[in-house]
């Protein structure tokens, strides 16, 4: 998440959609940055509907710097679900290797515990899909950051990782910020996703799990 009362923008940050790259570009213009606490407005990946709740709460309390939600330019970035799933796995394996090299000295956080558990359970991407890509699970869908509880779009613009440079420049122009230089952050290293999904069941597993994302954001395998 990134927020600016001065420039009137809200960036909704979705996991593994170049969000760290976008957040870093918005940092010089933001007066509120994010953190890892899921219970606060500052959480890195707070959904739009929860962010609006905080806006309304403060606006109704006459906190003048919290202007009407509709006066802000609200945007996010999304990613092809097949590519995003592979990027998530690559990221978790990399983080697990980092965590195993460090003596925490304290009880691990939920993220560390989850990452190490996945690393232990899944030797490869196929293992990960079999265990963590069930069609009946609805968590971690990109639409959940974008839509309200009635299925209405809450944002003014949804950019795509596949068109990142063009779409972020468009967003900056709408906000009235100088044209940015794209410097990729936290980029996962893996083969092109179309080469990794080498069995049909793998393609189908992601298609079934993220049907709503695929339809709403107009994605298909290979595009």
- Any domain includes 184: no
- Any domain includes 64: yes
Residue 138 has which token pair? Answer: 């609805």
How confident is residue 32, by pLDDT bands cut at 50, 70 and 90? Answer: confident
42, 33 in Cβ contact below 8 A? Answer: yes
- 127 and 203 inside one domain: yes
Domains contained in the chain, number: 2
- 36 and 123 inside one domain: no
- 115 and 208 inside one domain: yes
- 26 and 132 inside one domain: no
- 207 and 100 inside one domain: yes
- Is the model's pLDDT at 105 over the cut of 80? no
Q: CA-CA-CA-CA torsion for 95, 159, 165, 206, nearest 10 degrees?
A: 50
- 74 and 164 inside one domain: yes
Residue 65 has which token pair? Answer: 């710097």
| pLDDT tens per residue, range 115-163 | 999 999 999 999 999 999 988 777 899 999 999 999 999 999 999 999 9
- Is the model's pLDDT at 106 over the cut of 60? no
| pLDDT tens per residue, range 39-81 | 777 788 999 999 999 888 876 666 666 668 999 999 999 999 9
Nearest 5 degrees, angle CA 68-CA 71-CA 72?
105
Residue 82 to residue 192: CA distance in whole angstroms: 10
- 160 and 73 inside one domain: yes
- 23 and 65 inside one domain: yes
Residue 87, domain extent: 81-139+189-216
- Any domain includes 183: no
């Amino acid at each position: 998440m990134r927020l600016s009362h001065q420039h009137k923008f809200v960036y909704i940050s979705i996991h593994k959609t170049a969000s760290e790259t976008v957040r870093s570009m918005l940092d010089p213009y933001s007066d509120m940055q994010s953190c890892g606490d899921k219970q606060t407005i500052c959480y890195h990946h707070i959904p739009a509907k929860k962010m609006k709740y905080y806006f309304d709460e403060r606006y109704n309390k006459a906190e003048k710097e919290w202007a009407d939600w509709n006066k802000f330019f609200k945007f996010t970035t999304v990613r092809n679900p097949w590519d995003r799933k592979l990027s998530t796995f690559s990221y978790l394996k990399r983080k697990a290797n980092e965590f195993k090299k460090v003596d925490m000295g304290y009880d691990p956080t939920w993220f560390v515990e989850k990452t190490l558990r996945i690393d232990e359970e899944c030797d490869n991407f196929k293992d990960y899909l079999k265990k963590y890509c069930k069609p009946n699970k609805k968590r971690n869908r990109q639409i959940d950051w974008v839509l309200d509880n009635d299925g209405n779009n809450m944002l003014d613009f949804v950019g795509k990782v596949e068109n990142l440079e063009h779409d972020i420049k468009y967003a900056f122009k709408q906000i009235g910020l100088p044209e940015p230089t794209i410097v990729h952050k936290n980029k996962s290293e893996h083969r092109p996703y179309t080469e990794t999904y080498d069995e049909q069941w793998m393609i189908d597993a992601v298609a079934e799990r993220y049907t709503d994302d695929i339809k709403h954001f107009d994605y298909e395998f290979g595009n």
